[in-house]
Structure 1
Amino acid sequence: MAATSHRAAPAPFATGPVLGIAAAVAAALTALSGRYGYHRDELYFLAAGDHPAWGYVDQPPLTPLLARAATAVFGNSPAGLRVPATLACAAVVVLVAALARELGGGRAAQLLAACCAAASGIVLGTGHMVSTTTFDLLAWVLICLLALRALRTGDGRWWLAAGAAAGIGLLNKYLVVLLLVVLVAAVLAVGPRRTSRGGWWVAGAAVAAAVALPNVWWQAAHGWPQLTVAGGISSDDGAENRLMFVPQQIVYLSPLFVPVWIAGWRRLWRDPALRRARAMALAYPLLCALVLLTGGKPYYALPLLLVLLAAGCEPVAGWMTRTARTARTVAVAAAVAVSAAMSALFSLPLLPPGGLSVVNAVNPEQGEQIGWPALVDAVGTGWSRIPAERRAHAVIFAENYGEAGALTRYGPRHGLPRPYSGHMSYADWGPPPTSADGPVLLVHQDGSDRVTRHFTGCRQVARVDNRHGVDNEEQHAAVVLCTGTARPWPELWPALRHFY
């Protein structure tokens, strides 16, 4: 796509150093990928991938399908599953460096941007585990790069590429809509508006809609369940999300990078040479306002913070080369190294599981990778209490998709049947047959009575112990043996369905 602007082309890309940093991050993630176990969401993705569809009640289809493909190619293990996440993380590191270049950064700024991205908690954390956020982050950064290219060159054809990236992003997570809304609003507010002429924006939007259409059709046909899920997140966690919005913005990236992204915002807003990119400075506060208004999670706004970080690397690189350059370079290198160490400690499986108590208090996702085989062992103990002649009519019912996913993954080695659950899309894959009239073996979190009231003659027969003392959601979960259901499964199933 030929440039139509008189502006000078960006500096050459620092290909070797940037790819070296990305490769180092990928190597570290690969080495650590199997150290703990699956995350509860990963177990759900594996189960969803075995039920391919154009959508699920709580997400589009891309992540479950990637999970299915990864395990088919690389093996059904945490390490095999996480190969796409590792590659996505490496790609984000490269793209953040490319953003620095697009925003006028030279070789030093690009290298610094790659280092900062590689040292940030959000990039390392999403690179370690497969999640919708993993590929959402990649999509947002790529869309921002393509949008900045369109704004710099004035060549509207870049909006077609941005539309394709947005469409693929929508097949992974609907949050991309927030990015599109704030980008369009920001460009219309502060320009350059010339890129909206000629219909390229409309064509890009049409490409995005065409790519995402199958999933939108699925959601419409199923009554828009994603809206129910989003409403549950806002009502359950909205107040906490708003309270923690600013602290988590700082912590998830790195407290030591705050001066860099503040410098990036000021540069985008004030530097006449970057007036074409001024919309990015406005897009970030607009996005923050939207997330706060809707009660969304603080990390929703982090991808645009990476853009500000990339913009700030050029002035920081210039500061490093002025007087006392050695001391300044050492100070910046130390900040990146300390950030990398802190981010790795809280985002990656570096500690032995028994030492996770402090880390788990800050990042509970670490603890959610511990103890799933132990949960299945406890369920196996409960299953052994069922007389052999009754097992053909027995059902295992799990309260949430993490428990059900663990039983789906590890249950066969214990001779356990397929589990059922009313949580999220598991509800669409049930109910048990009418002939399965009991006993029913329930698994539910400690202190929860959401499901037991729907069953009769219940008594606890086992309790989960992850054997590491990790205080995660399933530690001390109860395994309860019930004689049967209060009503036949078809009548009971709607009451067992839940979205959060």
Structure 2
Amino acid sequence: MELNQRRTSLLLLLLFLVFKIVFQYTVVNPAYDLHRDEYLHLDMGYHLAAGYLSVPPFTAFNSLLVRWLGGGEFWVRFFPALYGALTMVVIWRMVCFLGGGLYAQALALTVFVCSAFSRLNVLYQPNSFDVLTWALICWLMMRYLQSQQGKWLLWTGVVAGIGLLNKYTVAVLLAGWLAALLLSSHRRIFRERDLYLGALIALVLAAPNLIWQVQQGFPVLHHMNELVATQLVHVDRMDFVTDQFIFFLGGAFLIVAAFAGLLFYWPYRLYRVVLLMYVLVILLLVYMRAKSYYALGLYPVLIAFGCAYWERVFRNGWNRYLRVLWLAVVVVPFVYLLNVVFPVLGPDQAREKGAKFAALGMLRWEDGKKHALPQDFADMLGWKEAAQLVMQAWQRIPEQARKNTLVICDNYGQAGAVNYFNRGRMPAAVSFSADYVYWFPKLDTLQYIVLLGNEPSEGYRPLIGRMEVVGTVQDALAREYGASVYLLSGLSPQVPVLLKKGVQEKQQSYHWKQGERR
């Protein structure tokens, strides 16, 4: 009997995992290109290093794997879906560990699929692996709290070290756990040698990136300051708190159930520190004006507690007949909002559904203003069109002059998209934006410049003999709408000199101390 139940459990898990990965491919309309951030992350696979301005190196090596697999959109979308599926495995194990049965496990994975996690798993960004890392750390800490075996602290160090190589927000979770343990009856953990060995393991694993940060003058601090000034300043702290429940739509009651179970269900008393950790991390993120999705990694463990507890509440008597109802409460609102939460509809259809998007607060961009489409949707439009215009400009350049041509873009999304669609047929595009400032070719002699973005600044115009407008991005719903491609020729010898100087100054500005002085 137990063997049959185990087989049924594994089969159900497998069905959920297959559904999850297939689902991630079906919720993106073919009318959309990749997201601007995805193009940058993919380009990192061609410039392997121990660190980058915006992210640690894990994403670059993941991009190298995508490249080895062919680099197509299928593989770009596969990895976030895979990391989401692996997070589901962790939740499944948590529920089982807490004594939950098949219903609790199925309910937990249904909540995960029918939530913001699936939206997160659409994009090739560090976030999906970050959530997996947070879930694993919470799972390992639960194992330690239950067994008091130091090996779980060592494994936590391994996961934390790898997590720090993916995204620095893991440090917020670790700070929350340490503070919660210190304030709880579990403070004796600070007398455990394995806690410090685990910390040493994490430090060793993250050391290549830490050394890179030191050598480069801590560009992560410059990036954080820039992020605060341009994006986080527009984050409303109350919106952050509200979003924590909007993330789960109909499944939000199970997060409340997790709070109730941790507070009042006696067998969970050992794990009440999880609730304290959650509160501390949320308070820290609110103080930092962090984006609301930064907290998503906290919820796999709460989903596990909530679903295991809910199953116990509705286990006996007539209550058990309500189990189908609770699944419906989770699924129905998600299905209703499917074409709003995901880029299922084409851009024009999505614009017509503006009221739905507005009701969920999805039309407000990081600039604090409302637009016709959600920012993520607009960030997935116009890239192929822009890359084709750049290729048209490139083809107008005499073949003998192409070796002395620079392709430069206004932002990292443009540069990444040009490289994604045109790689191998023309030189790699660069930009003064993000990591591209480190990837400039040698600037000795320039005969032509292909420029994507705004027209040259006034300081450069006297140094340009001829400026030809090749074309302009026409997709009015794209964030890149109006960006033009210029073919510049008859360049003064001063142009490469000024560009070199600009590159050096931009690179120096990323050194935190120098950037602060500037």
TM bin (shorter chain): 0.7 to 0.9
Alignment-derived partner of residue 513 in structure 2: none
Cα displacement string for residues 456-485 of structure 1 (whole angstroms, at most 9, x for unaligned residues) = 24564421124xx5x232122222344543
C-alpha deviation, 1:385, in angstroms? 5.4
Alpha carbons of 1:218 and 1:34: their partners in 2 closer, same or farther (altered >3 Å)?
A: farther
Who is 1:71 aligned against? Answer: 67
Counterpart position of 2:428: 418
- Tell me how far apart the structure 2 counterparts of residues 316 and 459 of structure 1 sit (CA, whole Å): 66
**Partner of 1:474 in structure 2?**
480
CA distance 1:432–1:355, shift in 2 (3 Å): farther
In structure 1, what residue type is equivalent to 2:167? K
1:236 equivalenced with 2:230 (yes/no): yes
Of 264, 288, 303, the match for 2:297: 303
Residue in 1 that maps onto 2:515: none
- Quick check: 381-390 or 397-406, which moved more? 381-390
Distance in 2 of aligned mates of 1:55 and 1:140: 21
Inter-partner Cα distance in structure 2 for 1:264 and 1:255: 16
Report the Cα distance in structure 2 between the residues aligned to 1:278 and 1:51, rounded to whole angstroms.
Answer: 45
**Structure 1 residue aligned with 2:381:** 370
- Tell me how far 1:387 sits from its aligned partner: 5.8
Total equivalences in the alignment: 477
Per-residue deviation, 1:389: 6.0
Name the counterpart of 1:280.
Answer: 274
| 1:49 shift after superposition | 0.6
8 Å contact kept, 2:45–2:67: no
- Give me the whole-angstrom Cα distance separating, in 2, the residues matched to 1:32 and 1:349: 6
Specify whether residues 479 and 389 from structure 1 end up closer, same or farther in structure 2 by C-alpha distance, changes over 3 A only: same
Aligned amino acid, residue 478 of structure 2: N
1:400 aligns with 2:411: yes
The 3-state SS of whatever aligns with 1:480 is strand
SS of residue matched to 2:183: helix
Contact 2:29/2:344 (<8 A) preserved: no
* 1:332-353 deviation per Cα after TM superposition (whole angstroms, max 9, x unaligned): 1212212442564345442234
Could you tell me how far apart the structure 2 residues matched to 1:328 and 1:272 are? 24
The alignment partner of 2:231 has SS state of helix
2:104 maps to amino acid: A
Give the Cα separation in 2 of the matches to 1:143 and 1:61: 20
Distance (Å, rounded) in 1 between the aligned partners of 2:206 and 2:29: 33
Verify the 8 A CA contact 1:434 1:489 in the aligned structure 2: no
CA contact (8 A) 2:79 2:124 kept: yes
Is 1:46 equivalent to 2:32 in the alignment?
Answer: no
Equivalent residue for 2:175, pick from 174, 181, 201: 181
Partners of 1:255 and 1:119 in 2: CA distance: 8
Q: Given that residues 12 and 107 in structure 1 are in contact (C-alpha distance below 8 angstroms), is that contact kept between their aligned partners in structure 2? A: no
Is the Cα contact below 8 Å between 1:376 and 1:406 reproduced in 2? yes
Give the TM-score normalised by structure 2: 0.84
Q: Distance in 2 between matches of 1:453 and 1:16?
A: 65
Change (3 A) 1:247 1:486: farther
- Counterparts of 2:229 and 2:498 in 1: how far apart (Å)? 32
Q: How many angstroms does 1:264 deviate by?
A: 0.6
Unmatched runs of 5 consecutive residues or more in structure 1:
1-10
| SS class of match (1:192) | helix
Structure 2: tracts of 5 or more residues without a match: 364-372, 511-518
Contact 1:93-1:117 within 8 A present in 2 as well: yes
The within-5 A match list for 1:21-170 is: 21-30=16-25, 35=30, 36-73=32-69, 75-121=70-116, 123-170=117-164
Aligned match of 2:249: 255
1:451-470 equivalent positions in 2, closer than 5 A: 452-453=457-458, 455-456=460-461, 457=464, 460-466=469-475, 469=476
Whether contact under 8 Å (1:454, 1:486) holds in the other structure is no
Shift of the 338–95 alpha-carbon distance from structure 1 to 2, 3 Å rule, reads same
Alignment counterpart, residue 194 of structure 2, candidates 200, 205, 214:
200
- Cα deviation, residue 92, structure 1: 1.0
Measured after TM superposition, the shift of residue 30 of structure 1 is 4.3
Q: Which position in structure 2 is the counterpart of 1:8?
A: none
Q: How does 1:259-408 map to 2 (within 5 A)?
A: 259-321=253-315, 324-325=318-319, 328-341=322-335, 344-357=338-351, 358=354, 361=363, 363-384=374-395, 386=397, 390-408=401-419
CA shift, 1:70, in A, is 2.3
Return the letter of the residue paired with 1:491.
K
C-alpha RMSD of matched pairs (Å): 2.7
Q: 1:440 aligns with which of 449, 459, 470?
A: 449
2: distance between equivalents of 1:431 and 1:102? 54
How many Å separate the matches in 2 of 1:185 and 1:403? 42
- The answer as to whether partners of 1:155 and 1:195 remain within 8 angstroms in 2 is no
Instruction: Please state how far the C-alpha of 1:404 moved relative to its aligned partner.
Output: 0.5
Question: Taking structure 1 as reference, are residues 441 and 293 closer, same or farther at Cα in structure 2, changes over 3 Å only?
Answer: same
Contact 2:176–2:280 (Cα < 8 Å) also in 1:
yes
* 2-structure distance, mates of 1:47, 1:371: 18
- What residue is the counterpart of 1:18 in the other structure? 13
CA shift for structure 1 position 58: 1.3
Structure 1's 343 and 117: CA in aligned 2 closer, same or farther, altered over 3 A? Answer: farther
TM superposition score normalised by structure 1:
0.87
Please give the alpha-carbon distance, in whole angstroms, between the structure 2 residues aligned to 1:281 and 1:16.
Answer: 32
* Aligned CA distance change for structure 1 residues 454 and 376 (closer, same or farther; 3 Å): farther
Contact 1:48 1:64 in 2 (8 A): yes
Matched-pair contact (CA < 8 Å) for 1:347–1:366? no
In 2 relative to 1, CA 464–392 (structure 1 residues): closer, same or farther, beyond 3 Å?
same
CA distance, structure 2, for counterparts of residue 234 and residue 313 of structure 1: 36
| Maintained 8 Å contact 1:242/1:298 | no
1:312-340 superposed Cα distances (whole Å, 9 cap, x missing partner): 11232234445654763233121221244
Q: 1:273 to 1:319 in 2, by over 3 A?
A: closer
Rate the CA distance shift 1:124–1:194 in 2: closer, same or farther, 3 A.
same
Q: Is the 8 A contact 1:441 1:479 kept in 2?
A: yes
Single out whichever of 187-196 and 343-352 deviates more from structure 2: 343-352
Amino acid at match of 1:62: F
Give the stretch that moved more between structures: 144-153 or 265-274: 265-274
Deviation string 1:78-103 (CA, Å, 9 cap, x unpaired) is 10222222211111112122222333
